[in-house]
Amino acid sequence: MNALELNGLCKRWPGFSLEDVTLALPAGCILGLVGENGAGKTTTIKLILNMLRADGGSATVLGQDAAALDKNDVGVVLDEAGLPQGLNPGQIGRIMSGIFRNWDAACYARYLDRFELPHGKPYKAFSRGMKMKLAIAIALSHNARLLVLDEPTGGLDPVVRDEIVELFSEFTRDADRAVLISSHIVSDLEKLCDYIAFLHKGRLVLFEEKDALLERYGLLRCDASALDAIDPGAVVGRRDSAYGAEAIVRRGAAPAGLALSPVGLEELFIFMTKGAR
């Protein structure tokens, strides 16, 4: 079963449109949504959560149409955590117990302790990292089956980020659960994700299993004239400098015998974005 299915999802505003986003996230898996600022990641997430009305296509979440989704089953972390400034984590926990049907107060208290968040300190006095940790604690404390996370690791230091990434990974050990995560920190997604969706200027440039994606492309370092001799259709993106050229190349379309290095997700993302420009 797919935890999430998007079919031809569209949203249009003057000056920006998200067009024809089609992807599926199987249960038990993690999908990373990658894209530059303004690529449409947050718009996609808001359409999934029925916070925006789609202009076309459909979103099915946990087998339900997004418009009729039971959000008790979805844990959400938004880019701006969005919690009331003057309240403390203890009060926020009591509010959430009146909102979520399956709220687990003991689990929430454990996460507060694990993240070293003071129960009585007002939210407005928290750092951005602490605010995100609190939002993550809420998302993980009501037995959600799907986590929808918009830049959840932004503002966290590398050690905490690593811990959080591990938490999300643990979450999907139960095969009924899934995670959709958008992030600029591509290294986190590379560690965590089973699938990658790459958005660029409102278009879904690719959606693929991460391992297959990384196997399909290779990094070529050579001089510019050697790169010019390769079929342009095989080159996804290139970077020229005084010392030579670098390019991401489709392994299947590249001439045999080329020495291609393994490519990382971050390099792929940067080259593709620049190539698309």
The structure tokens listed for 216 are: 């399909």
Between 27 and 148, CB nearer to another protein? 148
Residues sharing a CB contact under 8 Å with residue 14, sequence separation 6 or more, in sequence order:
none
How buried is residue 68: exposed, middle or buried, by Cβ count under 10 Å (0-12/13-18/19+)? exposed
- Nearer of residues 77 and 192 to another protein, judged by Cβ: 77
Contact between 49 and another protein by CB under 8 A: the answer reads yes
Count CB neighbours of 80 within 10 A. Answer: 12
Stretch that binds another protein, among 18-26, 90-98, 151-159, 255-263 (CB under 8 A): 90-98
Among 99, 125, 175, 212, binds another protein (CB under 8 A): 99
Q: Contacts with another protein in 129-188 (CB under 8 A)?
A: 148
Which DSSP category does 105 fall into? H
* DSSP-based three-state secondary structure for 131: helix
How far apart CA 69 and CA 241 sit, in angstroms, is 51
Asked if 87 interacts with another protein (CB under 8 A), we say yes
| N- to C-terminal Cα separation, the chain | 36
Among residues 18, 21, 78, 272, the one that binds another protein under rule CB under 8 A: 78
- Does residue 85 bind another protein (CB under 8 A)? yes
Q: Which stretch binds another protein (CB under 8 A): 66-74, 160-168, 233-241, 244-252?
A: 66-74
Binding site for another protein (CB under 8 A): 46, 49-53, 70-72, 74, 76, 78, 80-87, 91, 94-101, 148
